[in-house]
């Protein structure tokens, strides 16, 4: 199961996302999944392209906290691993 949680910084278009995607789920994504869907702690949802995570794939999948930056019109701009 692709499991994520995020906390949005209200003053900016940055979103912190805790991502835990197993190796098996990464394989499924390679076979056609286009987006990761996450639910915020407060119940809101976020969707972003799974391809932005490819550079973070490890032997056991994708795990960690990431900072995703979006433009004013909610288009993806950048991602970095925080820890």
Cβ atoms of 77 and 70 closer than 8 Å: yes
pLDDT of residue 74: 82
Q: Has residue 6 got a pLDDT over 90?
A: no
- Beta-bridged to residue 3, according to DSSP, are 20
User: CA-to-CA distance for 69 and 9, rounded, in angstroms?
Assistant: 10
Residues 24-36: tens digit of each pLDDT: 888 877 787 788 8
Q: How many folded domains does the chain comprise?
A: 1
Domain of residue 40 covers 3-81
Residues 42-74: tens digit of each pLDDT: 566 788 888 899 899 998 999 988 888 888 888
């820890």: which residue's tokens? Answer: 83
- Give the closest residue to 49 by CA, choosing from 24, 77, 22: 77
């Amino acid at each position: 199961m692709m499991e994520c949680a995020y906390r949005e910084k209200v003053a900016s278009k940055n979103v912190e996302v805790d991502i835990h995607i197993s190796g098996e789920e990464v394989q499924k994504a390679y076979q056609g999944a286009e987006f990761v869907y996450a639910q915020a702690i407060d119940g809101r949802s976020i969707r972003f392209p799974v391809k932005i995570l490819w550079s973070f794939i490890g032997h056991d999948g994708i795990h960690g906290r990431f900072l995703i930056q979006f433009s004013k019109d909610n288009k993806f701009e950048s991602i970095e691993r925080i820890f």
